[in-house]
Chain A
């Protein structure tokens, strides 16, 4: 079995020789080996392939010179596996005749090298027959009655398609390198040349000179779908350029989704995709009404976050009957049970009085008593609109992530961005720094307001920032000034997120960090505008979830 990774790899040449060809799709839990052999800052896909080849049973791997990370992957693989057929196929970026001639020549050299390695023989006639048997697959399949999604960008593993299908969305097209069906040209007068021409005339990837044509092709495709998922891989920078360009003119909702090819990020990916689908199709089916004996109806929203679990009970008139906030323990389910008891007690109700419960937040799927779950992004949108209908932009800084959400005048989510797998700019980061400064989290915000000297924390990584803070302490800097510097560092991160969704006033801040006056002041300075903060900023998500539950009843 030979592994390959790229759509420009001449898979059919080997297949016609009877070789089993396997497209390497890394499904790994960590990069332990790859980070020893390569470097942490290499494209996650390349690291994943290295892990996969080290644990898999490949006779060899066919690589193409697609990018810098793959070039280095080749170097490491040849070093690690001198006995395997690790081949680097020099793939031109120019698809005109000169490129075709060169590529054909390169493929012939590769075939000879493999014949020598394996003892198998390549026969052109067999190859031609093999190609004739191949049929081109349909590239576009729009389904009526479903939300149609197109995927563009860097190679994407199957999890994105799986999540979309689980949520009832139809993948109308997948223009990433892995999603495309092959283009086979059979020219019997010159089989190899025709085949090469076909390979190089596939939908161009970003490394190809012709990638400029992508705009036109994408324009043609996107007209038929409701939304686009633009996928990028961590440490692969090529596709972000296209995202930056498309977002200015593509007239379709677009979600930027970065993945890193490990299983750890699946929760984050799910939240983003589901929130995106919710923003495209806000209408859902209605449930059967269940009312308390006196005719009143109550619903509950419960937001299971990394730091706190929050619950809100609302009546049919959209009035909050009671709310409760508890710290999230090691198990999301246990904290949810606790908050359920607490909020019912406060409201003077029992579980049976609640008609419908919607859960949200990272732990939303672990809450067994919930009837339905909705992502915290949609819930924050709805909640923010409930508290103040003038809000168009929300900044939510929670324990483990931060996000910016843009709303329409009716409170629908129009766009959102989230920070990635990085603690910088989150509540966790503040906790870390508070610990280092030996103050409580509450004090941190308060003392920041008394700062006299401006200190800039330059490190963008929370781990580096922490050691920067330690150096500042060692230099006898005042705690208040350091605290203020940290608040500004968070504000800078937040500003980046807000810029990316568009800075439409008015602004609201939600999440636990909204209670920190130091951060609030720093964000306000940075955006040059006031932030609206409701009395209990931690329950905005739960209130939104309760509103979703009411909508279920048409209330």
Chain B
């Protein structure tokens, strides 16, 4: 057993036995891992993804180490605005992933369920509620959540406000995409900025927000460029690399550091060989721990995830002259908001640009908005002649993912893709002969 594994087991046991007494050890583990990703980066994956992992480890370890440096958010919280107050946004979904690094997900989930939280709730939320409610993880001064995409947001934050006294701002994201909605949300964002000014005693400088939006626009353009390159070249990464990328695009977007990384990746990828395997566009969460999916998508020359809708869930250029409206519009037009046809349209656009061979949607346990529309998306992709596979499981709780089922479905789907290609080649040959 590796020393790291022993340490993980030790922290897990300690936390389960005495939640609240092992936080310093958990924190130390995050710091050591940060160091590890810098000094001894994971072998076999590309430099870009190594740097990305190191950046995300630092981001979380550094923030958690300074409790006054961050607020809790959900993954759609406006980190650009929060960043104007020199504060980091730690999303509860990502923190749950980090806690699962200590294999504590089952302990926290059971803890939450035993207090009465619904077993059918999203596992990310259950882990977070269990981690905080059990006292294993300390709380910050403030939090913010949006209503976007997930019913759990408002309820989880409200529950923790009541139980642990963490006040929060709630941003109500309207369903419809029109000017009235944008005004409504922009006003709330302004009030939120004023609230942060009051709470943290730092003045708000609109120019900072404008600058963040300029960087953000640039980042999004560069990322699309990178995705195009990733559909042409073999750029070894892991399932978790895409989650890190999603984290970056939601929690570090608008920072120069993250833009520089994407630019580095664009340069770096050009040193890699041509990719001639199957290109997969991934929809929704990636169960980074899942053995079968790891064996097919971690550094595999035959199958490469070229992009995911959770990484690039808003695609339009933002208007930097009206920063609050621009932020509001970005959130409202997010592909997870509104009707599923809006999402299908945006996924269609992505497919049009990146030309994937297939789409895989992972229906995460407890995520109603994703599961409920999966069949509609499949129909839409059928119209575009793109095969799609729906997998059921859990993004983080392995007890809800069944490897046998996932393996059979995935392998059958990949066989189907291969045989489809053979048929096509045969048809083309036939045509040439004719």
Query: Chain A interface (Cβ within 8 Å of chain B)?
Result: 36-39, 41-43, 46, 65, 67-69, 71-76, 78-79, 88, 90, 92-94, 98-99, 102, 105-106, 206-207, 209, 211-212, 232, 234-238, 240-241, 243-245, 247, 256, 458-460, 464, 467-468, 471, 492, 496, 499-500
Number of inter-chain CB pairs below 8 Å: 150
Of B115, B175, B365, which one neighbours A90 at CB under 8 angstroms? Answer: B175
Given contacts A42-B368, A99-B172, A235-B368, contact A72 B340 (CB under 8 A): yes
The 5 closest A-B pairs by CB, nearest first: A72-B372, A244-B116, A240-B118, A39-B371, A237-B121
Question: Which of chain B's residues have a CB closer than 8 A to the CB of A71?
Answer: 175, 339-340, 369, 372
| Complex: A212 Cα to B403 Cα, angstroms | 41
Query: In the bound complex, do residue A209 and residue B372 qualify as a contact, i.e. CB atoms below 8 Å apart?
Result: no
Contact among A68, A73, A464 with B150 in the assembled complex (CB-CB below 8 Å) = A68
* CB of B151 closer than 8 Å to a CB of A: yes
Residues of A within 8 A of B376 (CB): 75-76, 79
Residues of chain B within 8 A of A243, CB atoms compared: 116
Contact of B159 among A42, A245, A496 (CB under 8 A): A245
Q: Are B339 and A105 in contact (CB under 8 A)?
A: no
Return the chain A residue nearest B363 by Cβ. A39
Which residues of B are found within 8 Å of A106, using beta-carbon distances? 176
Q: List 5 A-B contacts (CB under 8 A).
A: A65-B175, A68-B369, A92-B174, A234-B120, A240-B117
The answer, yes or no, to whether B180 is at the interface (CB within 8 Å) is yes
Q: Does B294 contact A (CB under 8 A)?
A: no
Of listed B150, B151, B375, B398, residue having the most chain A CB within 10 A: B151
CA distance in complex: A79, B383 (Å): 15
Evaluate contact between B375 and A39: CB separation under 8 angstroms. yes
B176 touches A232 (CB 8 A): no
Given contacts A212-B158, A459-B399, contact A41 B368 (CB under 8 A): yes
Tell me, rounded to whole Å, the shortest Cβ–Cβ distance linking A482 to chain B. Answer: 16
Which of chain A's residues have a CB closer than 8 A to the CB of B254?
none
Residue of A nearest to B369 (CB): A68
Q: Is the CB of B113 within 8 A of A496?
A: yes
Residues of A near B176 (CB, < 8 A) are: 90, 106
Task: Determine the distance from Cα of A231 to Cα of B155 in the docked complex, in whole angstroms.
Answer: 17
Interface size on B, residues (CB 8 A): 55
Given A211-B158, A459-B399, answer yes or no on A68-B368 (Cβ-Cβ < 8 Å): yes
CB-CB < 8 A to A468: which residues of B?
402, 404
Per-residue interface assignment for chain B, residues 238 to 270, with 1 indicating a CB less than 8 Å from any chain A CB and 0 otherwise: 000000000000000000000000000000000
Q: Chain B contacts of A43 at CB under 8 A? A: 368
Summarize B's interface: helix, strand, loop or mixed. Answer: helix
Q: B151, A237: Cβ atoms under 8 Å? A: yes
Flag whether B162 is at the interface (Cβ < 8 A). Answer: yes
Shortest distance between the CB of B16 and any CB in chain A (Å): 13
Q: A241-B117, A244-B117 are in contact. Are A41 and B339 (CB under 8 A)?
A: no
Q: How far is the CA of A458 from the CA of B393 in the complex (A)?
A: 13
Starting from the known contacts A39-B372, A74-B339, 19 additional A-B residue pairs (CB-CB under 8 Å) come to A39-B375, A41-B120, A41-B371, A42-B368, A72-B368, A72-B371, A72-B373, A98-B184, A98-B188, A207-B154, A209-B172, A237-B366, A241-B155, A241-B158, A241-B159, A244-B117, A247-B116, A464-B405, A467-B405
| A460-B126 Cα distance, complex, nearest whole Å | 15
Residue B141 is within 8 A (CB to CB) of chain A in the complex = no
Mark each residue of chain B from 158 to 201: 1 if its CB lies under 8 Å from any CB of chain A, else 0: 11001100000010101110001100100110000000000000
Tell me the complex Cα distance, A67–B181, Å.
18
- Contacts A69-B368, A235-B120, A256-B116 given: A458-B398 contact, CB under 8 Å? yes
Interface residues of B in 375-415 (CB under 8 A from A): 375-376, 392, 398-400, 402-405
CB contacts under 8 Å to A, within B5-46, are none
